[in-house]
């Protein structure tokens, strides 16, 4: 399995674009990624899978 690091820009900066980390993890798991781990409230995520 491949590990991926996602570092999206502009998430949870200021009062707009707030994304709960639990919701982000659930969304990525629903997209087929495994071992979804968020790093703090930054929006940065480490996932496993997504090879196909």
Q: What is the pLDDT of residues 2-51, one digit of tens each?
A: 899 999 988 887 787 788 999 999 999 999 999 999 998 888 999 998 66
pLDDT of residue 50: 63
Was domain 2-49 assigned CATH 1.10.630.10? no
Tell me the whole-structure pTM to 2 decimals: 0.80
How far out from the chain centre does Cα 8 lie?
8
- Helix then strand count (H, E) for the chain reads 1, 3
pLDDT of residue 51: 64
């Amino acid at each position: 399995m491949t590990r991926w690091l996602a570092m999206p820009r502009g998430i949870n900066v200021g009062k707009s674009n707030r994304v709960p980390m639990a919701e982000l993890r659930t969304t990525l798991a629903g997209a087929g990624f495994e071992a979804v781990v968020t790093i703090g409230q930054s929006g940065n995520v480490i996932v496993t899978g997504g090879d196909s």
